[in-house]
Structure 1
Amino acid sequence: MEVFVARSHPVDTHVGNRLRQRRALLGMSQTDLGNAVGLTFQQVQKYERGFNRISSSRLFEFSKVLDVPVEHFFDGMGATAVAAKRKPGRPRAPEKPADSDLNTKRETLELVRAYYKIRSKSLREKTRDLIIALARD
Protein backbone atom coordinates (compact mmCIF):
# COMPACT_ATOMS: atom_id res chain seq x y z
CA MET A 1 0.00 0.00 0.00
CA GLU A 2 1.40 3.38 -1.05
CA VAL A 3 1.07 6.30 1.33
CA PHE A 4 0.49 9.72 -0.20
CA VAL A 5 2.12 12.63 1.59
CA ALA A 6 0.55 15.95 0.67
CA ARG A 7 3.06 18.64 -0.18
CA SER A 8 2.44 22.31 -0.57
CA HIS A 9 2.45 23.69 -4.08
CA PRO A 10 5.64 25.72 -4.67
CA VAL A 11 3.59 28.85 -5.43
CA ASP A 12 1.76 28.56 -2.07
CA THR A 13 5.10 28.10 -0.32
CA HIS A 14 6.60 31.13 -2.05
CA VAL A 15 3.60 33.37 -1.30
CA GLY A 16 3.65 32.20 2.33
CA ASN A 17 7.36 32.97 2.63
CA ARG A 18 6.79 36.46 1.23
CA LEU A 19 3.91 36.97 3.68
CA ARG A 20 6.12 35.91 6.61
CA GLN A 21 9.00 38.07 5.38
CA ARG A 22 6.89 41.24 5.14
CA ARG A 23 5.13 40.62 8.45
CA ALA A 24 8.45 40.10 10.23
CA LEU A 25 10.01 43.11 8.52
CA LEU A 26 7.24 45.26 9.99
CA GLY A 27 7.81 43.72 13.42
CA MET A 28 4.30 42.31 13.46
CA SER A 29 3.48 39.03 15.20
CA GLN A 30 1.32 36.33 13.65
CA THR A 31 -1.31 37.21 16.25
CA ASP A 32 -1.22 40.89 15.25
CA LEU A 33 -1.64 40.05 11.58
CA GLY A 34 -4.37 37.54 12.35
CA ASN A 35 -6.30 40.07 14.44
CA ALA A 36 -6.02 42.65 11.66
CA VAL A 37 -7.73 40.33 9.16
CA GLY A 38 -9.95 38.30 11.48
CA LEU A 39 -7.88 35.10 11.73
CA THR A 40 -6.14 33.13 14.45
CA PHE A 41 -2.35 33.06 14.59
CA GLN A 42 -2.55 29.34 13.73
CA GLN A 43 -4.26 30.14 10.43
CA VAL A 44 -1.63 32.79 9.63
CA GLN A 45 1.02 30.18 10.45
CA LYS A 46 -0.55 27.68 8.02
CA TYR A 47 -0.61 30.34 5.28
CA GLU A 48 3.02 31.29 5.93
CA ARG A 49 4.17 27.69 5.70
CA GLY A 50 2.20 27.14 2.52
CA PHE A 51 0.07 24.42 4.12
CA ASN A 52 -3.10 26.32 3.24
CA ARG A 53 -3.66 28.19 -0.01
CA ILE A 54 -4.45 31.90 0.36
CA SER A 55 -7.56 33.04 -1.52
CA SER A 56 -7.35 36.16 -3.66
CA SER A 57 -9.61 38.14 -1.32
CA ARG A 58 -7.50 37.15 1.70
CA LEU A 59 -4.30 38.03 -0.17
CA PHE A 60 -5.83 41.42 -0.93
CA GLU A 61 -6.55 41.91 2.80
CA PHE A 62 -2.97 40.96 3.69
CA SER A 63 -1.62 43.40 1.11
CA LYS A 64 -3.63 46.26 2.65
CA VAL A 65 -2.58 45.44 6.23
CA LEU A 66 1.09 44.92 5.26
CA ASP A 67 1.07 48.00 2.98
CA VAL A 68 2.34 46.27 -0.16
CA PRO A 69 0.76 45.61 -3.55
CA VAL A 70 -0.59 42.10 -4.11
CA GLU A 71 2.22 41.56 -6.65
CA HIS A 72 4.70 41.71 -3.74
CA PHE A 73 3.77 38.17 -2.74
CA PHE A 74 4.78 36.83 -6.15
CA ASP A 75 8.03 38.79 -6.60
CA GLY A 76 11.09 36.62 -7.01
CA MET A 77 9.13 33.48 -7.78
CA GLY A 78 11.35 31.11 -9.70
CA ALA A 79 10.49 29.34 -12.92
CA THR A 80 10.24 26.04 -11.03
CA ALA A 81 7.33 27.35 -8.96
CA VAL A 82 5.61 28.84 -12.00
CA ALA A 83 5.88 25.61 -13.99
CA ALA A 84 5.03 23.27 -11.11
CA LYS A 85 1.95 21.12 -11.29
CA ARG A 86 0.76 19.06 -8.38
CA LYS A 87 0.76 15.39 -9.32
CA PRO A 88 0.00 13.02 -6.44
CA GLY A 89 2.43 10.15 -6.04
CA ARG A 90 5.09 11.58 -8.35
CA PRO A 91 8.53 12.32 -6.98
CA ARG A 92 9.49 15.97 -6.87
CA ALA A 93 12.92 17.53 -6.87
CA PRO A 94 13.80 18.79 -3.41
CA GLU A 95 13.14 22.48 -2.93
CA LYS A 96 15.51 24.93 -1.35
CA PRO A 97 14.80 25.36 2.35
CA ALA A 98 13.23 28.73 3.18
CA ASP A 99 16.37 29.71 5.14
CA SER A 100 18.48 29.56 1.97
CA ASP A 101 16.87 32.82 0.79
CA LEU A 102 18.77 35.71 2.37
CA ASN A 103 15.64 37.88 2.30
CA THR A 104 13.77 35.55 4.64
CA LYS A 105 16.51 34.94 7.19
CA ARG A 106 15.78 36.32 10.65
CA GLU A 107 19.21 37.96 10.76
CA THR A 108 18.49 39.91 7.57
CA LEU A 109 15.11 41.07 8.84
CA GLU A 110 16.60 42.17 12.18
CA LEU A 111 19.31 44.16 10.39
CA VAL A 112 16.82 45.87 8.09
CA ARG A 113 14.54 46.77 11.00
CA ALA A 114 17.47 48.15 13.01
CA TYR A 115 18.71 50.10 9.99
CA TYR A 116 15.38 51.85 9.51
CA LYS A 117 15.21 52.71 13.21
CA ILE A 118 18.19 55.03 12.65
CA ARG A 119 16.41 58.38 12.46
CA SER A 120 19.19 60.37 10.83
CA LYS A 121 19.17 59.88 7.05
CA SER A 122 22.86 60.81 6.76
CA LEU A 123 23.81 58.33 9.51
CA ARG A 124 21.77 55.62 7.74
CA GLU A 125 23.62 56.36 4.49
CA LYS A 126 27.00 56.23 6.26
CA THR A 127 26.02 52.93 7.88
CA ARG A 128 25.01 51.52 4.51
CA ASP A 129 28.29 52.71 2.94
CA LEU A 130 30.27 51.11 5.79
CA ILE A 131 28.51 47.77 5.33
CA ILE A 132 29.09 47.86 1.56
CA ALA A 133 32.78 48.65 2.12
CA LEU A 134 33.14 45.83 4.63
CA ALA A 135 31.45 43.39 2.25
CA ARG A 136 33.98 44.19 -0.47
CA ASP A 137 36.93 43.13 1.70
Structure 2
Amino acid sequence: MANANLSKAPSQADIDVGRKVRFQRIVYGLSQADLGAALSVARQQIQKYENGTNRLRGDQIDTLSKLFKVPIQYFYEYDPERSGLPFVEQQQADDDMFRFVRSKAGKELNFAFLRIRDPEGKRQVAALVESLTRKDDNGS
Protein backbone atom coordinates (compact mmCIF):
# COMPACT_ATOMS: atom_id res chain seq x y z
CA MET A 1 0.00 0.00 0.00
CA ALA A 2 1.38 3.41 -0.93
CA ASN A 3 2.19 5.89 1.78
CA ALA A 4 -0.51 8.57 1.67
CA ASN A 5 1.88 11.09 3.24
CA LEU A 6 4.24 11.15 0.26
CA SER A 7 4.11 14.51 -1.48
CA LYS A 8 3.07 14.70 -5.13
CA ALA A 9 5.19 17.83 -5.55
CA PRO A 10 8.49 17.38 -7.38
CA SER A 11 11.47 17.03 -5.08
CA GLN A 12 14.42 19.38 -5.39
CA ALA A 13 16.54 16.41 -6.49
CA ASP A 14 14.10 15.58 -9.31
CA ILE A 15 14.10 19.22 -10.42
CA ASP A 16 17.91 19.35 -10.37
CA VAL A 17 18.24 16.11 -12.36
CA GLY A 18 15.65 17.34 -14.87
CA ARG A 19 17.47 20.65 -15.28
CA LYS A 20 20.69 18.80 -16.10
CA VAL A 21 18.90 16.57 -18.61
CA ARG A 22 17.42 19.66 -20.28
CA PHE A 23 20.82 21.36 -20.36
CA GLN A 24 22.53 18.37 -21.98
CA ARG A 25 19.68 17.89 -24.45
CA ILE A 26 19.96 21.48 -25.62
CA VAL A 27 23.77 21.42 -25.74
CA TYR A 28 23.56 18.35 -27.97
CA GLY A 29 20.91 20.03 -30.13
CA LEU A 30 18.27 17.38 -29.47
CA SER A 31 14.55 18.01 -29.40
CA GLN A 32 12.40 16.50 -26.68
CA ALA A 33 11.09 14.07 -29.32
CA ASP A 34 14.67 13.04 -30.22
CA LEU A 35 15.51 12.37 -26.59
CA GLY A 36 12.22 10.58 -26.12
CA ALA A 37 13.12 8.23 -28.96
CA ALA A 38 16.48 7.47 -27.30
CA LEU A 39 14.68 6.58 -24.06
CA SER A 40 11.68 4.94 -25.78
CA VAL A 41 9.24 7.43 -24.25
CA ALA A 42 7.02 10.19 -25.63
CA ARG A 43 8.12 13.83 -25.92
CA GLN A 44 5.62 14.70 -23.19
CA GLN A 45 7.41 12.33 -20.82
CA ILE A 46 10.73 14.09 -21.48
CA GLN A 47 9.02 17.37 -20.64
CA LYS A 48 7.88 15.89 -17.32
CA TYR A 49 11.38 14.61 -16.57
CA GLU A 50 12.89 18.02 -17.35
CA ASN A 51 10.39 19.78 -15.10
CA GLY A 52 11.00 17.31 -12.29
CA THR A 53 7.35 16.23 -12.38
CA ASN A 54 8.29 12.62 -13.12
CA ARG A 55 11.38 10.78 -11.92
CA LEU A 56 13.83 9.10 -14.27
CA ARG A 57 14.60 5.42 -13.65
CA GLY A 58 18.14 4.22 -13.06
CA ASP A 59 18.41 2.56 -16.47
CA GLN A 60 17.31 5.82 -18.10
CA ILE A 61 19.98 7.77 -16.21
CA ASP A 62 22.51 5.19 -17.42
CA THR A 63 21.34 5.65 -21.03
CA LEU A 64 21.54 9.44 -20.67
CA SER A 65 25.05 9.31 -19.21
CA LYS A 66 26.21 7.30 -22.24
CA LEU A 67 24.33 9.49 -24.72
CA PHE A 68 25.69 12.73 -23.26
CA LYS A 69 29.13 11.27 -22.42
CA VAL A 70 28.94 12.29 -18.76
CA PRO A 71 29.36 10.13 -15.66
CA ILE A 72 26.16 9.04 -13.94
CA GLN A 73 27.19 11.15 -10.94
CA TYR A 74 26.84 14.28 -13.08
CA PHE A 75 23.07 14.09 -12.72
CA TYR A 76 23.28 13.93 -8.93
CA GLU A 77 26.02 16.47 -8.20
CA TYR A 78 24.91 19.17 -5.79
CA ASP A 79 25.02 22.72 -7.11
CA PRO A 80 24.78 25.04 -4.09
CA GLU A 81 24.36 28.15 -6.24
CA ARG A 82 21.23 26.78 -7.92
CA SER A 83 19.71 24.20 -5.63
CA GLY A 84 16.77 25.65 -3.76
CA LEU A 85 16.15 28.49 -6.21
CA PRO A 86 12.49 28.86 -7.13
CA PHE A 87 11.74 26.85 -10.28
CA VAL A 88 10.93 29.98 -12.33
CA GLU A 89 14.32 31.49 -11.45
CA GLN A 90 16.07 28.24 -12.37
CA GLN A 91 14.27 28.18 -15.72
CA GLN A 92 15.25 31.81 -16.45
CA ALA A 93 18.90 31.17 -15.56
CA ASP A 94 18.88 28.03 -17.70
CA ASP A 95 17.31 29.91 -20.62
CA ASP A 96 20.03 32.59 -20.39
CA MET A 97 22.73 29.92 -20.31
CA PHE A 98 21.19 27.98 -23.21
CA ARG A 99 21.02 31.12 -25.35
CA PHE A 100 24.73 31.67 -24.76
CA VAL A 101 25.70 28.02 -25.35
CA ARG A 102 23.82 28.04 -28.67
CA SER A 103 25.39 31.34 -29.75
CA LYS A 104 28.45 31.44 -32.03
CA ALA A 105 30.65 32.72 -29.19
CA GLY A 106 29.29 30.11 -26.79
CA LYS A 107 30.00 27.27 -29.20
CA GLU A 108 33.50 28.54 -29.94
CA LEU A 109 34.29 28.91 -26.24
CA ASN A 110 32.93 25.50 -25.31
CA PHE A 111 34.66 23.66 -28.16
CA ALA A 112 37.95 25.42 -27.39
CA PHE A 113 37.62 24.50 -23.72
CA LEU A 114 36.94 20.87 -24.64
CA ARG A 115 40.21 20.78 -26.61
CA ILE A 116 42.18 21.56 -23.44
CA ARG A 117 43.47 18.16 -22.35
CA ASP A 118 45.33 19.17 -19.19
CA PRO A 119 43.01 19.20 -16.12
CA GLU A 120 45.15 21.90 -14.51
CA GLY A 121 44.81 24.02 -17.65
CA LYS A 122 41.03 23.66 -17.46
CA ARG A 123 41.10 24.72 -13.80
CA GLN A 124 43.22 27.76 -14.68
CA VAL A 125 40.84 28.82 -17.46
CA ALA A 126 37.85 28.39 -15.13
CA ALA A 127 39.64 30.42 -12.43
CA LEU A 128 40.41 33.18 -14.94
CA VAL A 129 36.79 33.37 -16.08
CA GLU A 130 35.61 33.40 -12.46
CA SER A 131 38.02 36.24 -11.60
CA LEU A 132 36.76 38.25 -14.58
CA THR A 133 33.15 37.80 -13.45
CA ARG A 134 34.05 39.02 -9.96
CA LYS A 135 35.58 42.15 -11.50
CA ASP A 136 32.39 42.71 -13.52
CA ASP A 137 30.23 42.16 -10.42
CA ASN A 138 32.26 44.74 -8.50
CA GLY A 139 31.99 47.29 -11.30
CA SER A 140 35.73 47.28 -11.99
After TM superposition, the score normalised by the length of structure 1 is 0.63
| Greater helix proportion | 2
8 Å CA contact 2:61, 2:72 repeated in 1: yes
RCO higher in structure (CA 8 A, sep ≥6): 1
> 1:95: Cα distance to partner?
2.6
- The residue aligned with 2:3 is none
> 1:27: Cα distance to partner?
1.0
> 1:110: Cα distance to partner?
1.5
> Given the superposition, is the C-alpha separation of residues 94 and 18 from structure 1 closer, same or farther in structure 2, using an over 3 Å criterion?
closer
1:105 partner letter: M
**Superposed counterparts of 1:5-20, under 5 Å:** 6-20=8-22
> 1:14: Cα distance to partner?
0.2
Deviations, residues 85-111 of structure 1 (Å, cap 9, x unaligned): xxxxxxxx8735213546973223224
8 Å CA contact 2:82, 2:90 repeated in 1: no
Are 1:52 and 2:54 counterparts?
yes
Gaps of 5+ in 2: 1-6, 116-124
In 1: Cα distance, 2:43 partner to 2:108 partner: 25
In 1: Cα distance, 2:10 partner to 2:108 partner: 33
**Superposed counterparts of 1:18-97, under 5 Å:** 18-78=20-80, 95=86, 97=89
- The residue aligned with 1:105 is 97
| Matched positions, count | 111
8 Å CA contact 1:25, 1:113 repeated in 2: no
8 Å CA contact 1:98, 1:104 repeated in 2: no
Gaps of 5+ in 1: 82-92, 122-127
8 Å CA contact 1:25, 1:109 repeated in 2: yes
After TM superposition, the score normalised by the length of structure 2 is 0.62
> 1:60: Cα distance to partner?
0.8
8 Å CA contact 2:21, 2:50 repeated in 1: yes
Q: Secondary structure at the match of 1:105?
A: helix
